[in-house]
Amino acid sequence: MPEPGPSWDVVADIQLLLQFHFMQNAFLAGTLVALLAGTAGYFVVLRGQSFAAHMLSQVGFPGAAAGVLVHVSPVLGLIVFCVGAAVGIAAIGREVDAGQRLESAAIGSILAFSLGLGFLFVRLYGGSAQGIYAFLFGTILGITDRDVQLTFAVALVTIASLAAIGRPLMFASVDPDVAQARGVPVRMLSLAFLLILALSVAITVQIVGTLLIFALLVAPAASALQLTARQGRGIALSVALSLAFTWLGLALAYFTNVPVGFFITTLAFVFYLAVRLVKTRRTVVAPA
Amino acid sequence: MGALQLDHAAARLGGRLIWTEVDLEVQEGEFVAILGPNGAGKSTLLKALLGVVPLAEGSVRVFGRPVRRGSDEIGYLPQRRRFDPDLRIRAVDLVRLGLDGERWGMSLPSPAKTNRVAEMVELVGAAAYQDRPIGELSGGEQQRILIAQALVSGARMLALDEPLESLDLNNQQAISELIRSICQTRGVTVLLVAHDINPILPFVDRVVYVAGGHLLSGKPQEVIRTETLTALYGTPVEVLHTSDGRIVVVGQYEPVTHHPDDH
């Protein structure tokens, strides 16, 4: 019997996709990460912290390398570096206007320094760069059952935390002065959000890779926010898009042997581009 | 009952004494304009009664009780220019945040709350654009939404920090009229910080002038006079009346007339 390929029979295709255990795990972990990133990403984009998310998804690289170097778990190094960076940005502060500029300058500096450290640790380690490569681009097709369980726990904690602080976080994000006068702990929430983001990124990044986390944290939410200004719908759409890009990306990768990361990032980017183009045309033709 | 009472109050910001020996009483339902040069402590006065800036000396009471941050009785509109044009949140959702945005946990559907928000949106005349993203609204439309947000939790006092700033003359007029009508029909006490007295002159009951570390209150024609302001500032200033009825204060650190390129 020849190697089975995709057909127009969707049920048969899904059976094909899920016939191996590693693909089942990839779908499970991918789904959980998409749920997590779609939800957290809505707040990332709303708060204008895409650059912070970018930094958090990369700043763990020297942490992981340091972990390997001193023979502790790379996850521990990841967590230390991500949390340290989150506290670093929050300490810079987010005052109106100037704070945004201060924040992005601080992020740029921290990110460059962390990449420099990463190179140093890799050189000191002197071993194969294979592990580092896996870290950056993900090993979503080599996920163990334990990884799936860990991802499940992280997704659960992250989404539950966001549900708990979501409303005041929204208030603090869109109208910090009024929120503060109404008794919302604005700076504490800013730090709390970055810490939630840092911890969830640190743990999931070594499972699905930097590239995927960052792609799913920004592009689906950015598209969703362009399509609706309703909060509930925005979060739901952001999650739905994350799931669609992840599932489709995994399926395409399985049938074509092209890396998953390429498909998921491309789908997310093309969709975002299309949304922006349609929106721009609409504004030019009929200004609101 | 007094809506606001300050006794021998003093405020300090970053170690600098902003104003001292302030005694002020505002009655319920009064519309009071707070005037004075930049940096004199007008915004600090509002923040003191919101409980955001603690007093260095003396006491402040709102509706007979000591102030506390997050009180439902005061609606606050901070000084700002505009919302970010890219902020994609519906105007009506912003009003809703004024009702329960400080609470933890998820927001569940509540017809009572939805009705309350709708009532306020209607009151400020913003129903037509309540579903549009706040960033896409004009300055006047944004101010109406923010006034609805300030009122929605049942506020009996509005603390408005330069709500007319960066609005054109028509909108300054329309927003002033709206505030006056809320004040009269709902008995809401209004404290409005202004850079320029002229757009609100026909509407206010009283002005409070903050300058030179002190505060002076009274009817506009009593306070905004060359002699009284010169005494308050401690340096010569002159109050001029233009032929079209506008009041211009000259000789202070910077003129009180409107500067479009301010900040």
Q: How close does chain B come to A112, measured CA to CA in Å?
A: 28
Check residue A65 and give its pLDDT: 83
What CATH number belongs to A10-279?
A: 1.10.3470.10
Q: Grade residue A115 by pLDDT with cuts at 50, 70 and 90.
A: confident
* Residue in chain A nearest B47 by alpha carbon: A181
Distance CA B195, CA A243 (A): 52
* Residue in chain A nearest B133 by alpha carbon: A229
Chain A residue numbers with beta carbons less than 8 Å from the beta carbon of B43 are none
Q: Which of A67-76, A273-282, B140-149, B245-254 has the lowest mean pLDDT?
A: B245-254
Position B185 in a domain: yes
Out of A171, A177, A183, closest to residue B97 by CB: A171
The answer, yes or no, to whether residue A96 has pLDDT greater than 60, is no
Check residue B252 and give its pLDDT: 59
B101 and chain A: CB distance < 8 Å anywhere? yes
Position B255 in a domain: no
Position B88 in a domain: yes
Position B25 in a domain: yes
Q: How close does chain B come to A161, measured CA to CA in Å?
A: 9
Q: Grade residue A131 by pLDDT with cuts at 50, 70 and 90.
A: low
Q: Grade residue A67 by pLDDT with cuts at 50, 70 and 90.
A: confident
B50 and chain A: CB distance < 8 Å anywhere? yes
Chain A residue numbers with beta carbons less than 8 Å from the beta carbon of B134 are 174
Check residue B262 and give its pLDDT: 41
Out of B94, B101, B150, closest to residue A167 by CB: B101
Q: Grade residue A127 by pLDDT with cuts at 50, 70 and 90.
A: low
Out of B76, B93, B132, closest to residue A178 by CB: B76
The answer, yes or no, to whether residue A128 has pLDDT greater than 70, is no
Q: What is the mean pLDDT of residues A123-148?
A: 75
Check residue A75 and give its pLDDT: 81
What residues make up the domain containing B81? 2-250
Check residue A133 and give its pLDDT: 66
Size of interface A-B (CB pairs under 8 A): 88
Q: Which of A37-46, A102-111, A169-178 has the lowest mean pLDDT?
A: A102-111
Distance CA A90, CA A113 (A): 17
Position B74 in a domain: yes
Q: Which of A7-11, A85-89, A155-159, B161-165 has the lowest mean pLDDT?
A: A7-11
Position B9 in a domain: yes
The interface residues of chain B toward chain A in range 180-219, judged by CB-CB distance below 8 A, are none
* Under 8 Å between Cβ of A53 and A104: no
* Under 8 Å between Cβ of B155 and B74: yes
The ipTM of this complex is 0.87
Q: Which of A39-53, A136-150, A246-260, B135-149 has the lowest mean pLDDT?
A: A136-150
Position B213 in a domain: yes
Percentage helix, strand, coil for chain B under 3-state DSSP, each rounded to 5: 30, 25, 40
Please list the rounded mean pLDDT of every run of 10 residues in chain B (263 residues).
Answer: 90 90 94 90 93 92 91 89 87 95 88 96 96 94 95 95 90 94 95 91 92 90 86 84 85 52 43
pLDDT per position as a tens digit, A154-164: 999 999 999 99
Check residue B253 and give its pLDDT: 56
Q: What is the pTM of this model?
A: 0.88
* Residue in chain A nearest B106 by alpha carbon: A163
Which candidate in B50, B104, B130, B146 is best for mutational testing of the A interface (most A CBs within 10 A)?
Answer: B104
* Residue in chain A nearest B76 by alpha carbon: A178
Q: How many domains does chain B have?
A: 1
3-state secondary structure chain A: CCCCCCCCCHHHHHHHHCCCHHHHHHHHHHHHHHHHHHHHHHHHHHCCCHHHHHHHHHCHHHHHHHHHHCCCCHHHHHHHHHHHHHHHHHHHCCCCCHHHHHHHHHHHHHHHHHHHHHHHHHHHHCCCCHHHHHHHHCCHHHCCHHHHHHHHHHHHHHHHHHHHHHHHHHHHHHCHHHHHHCCCCHHHHHHHHHHHHHHHHHHHHHHHCHHHHHHHHHHHHHHHHHHCCCHHHHHHHHHHHHHHHHHHHHHHHHHHCCCHHHHHHHHHHHHHHHHHHHHHHHHHHCCC
Q: How close does chain A come to B142, measured CA to CA in Å?
A: 12
Domain residue ranges in chain A: 10-279
Which CATH number characterizes residue B146's domain? 3.40.50.300
* Under 8 Å between Cβ of B13 and B52: no
Note whether B80 contacts A96, CB cutoff 8 Å: yes
Closest CA to A151 of A163, A137, A138, A164: A138
- Which tokens belong to B246? 């506008």
Q: List the end-to-end C-alpha distance of chain A, in Å, as a whole number.
A: 59
A75 and chain B: CB distance < 8 Å anywhere? no
Out of B70, B103, B133, closest to residue A229 by CB: B133
Q: Which of A27-31, A248-252, B115-119, B233-237 has the lowest mean pLDDT?
A: B233-237
Count CB-CB contacts under 10 A for residue A73.
Answer: 12
Note whether A174 contacts B80, CB cutoff 8 Å: no
Note whether B98 contacts A182, CB cutoff 8 Å: yes
Position B261 in a domain: no
Distance CA B229, CA B217 (A): 11
A222 and chain B: CB distance < 8 Å anywhere? no
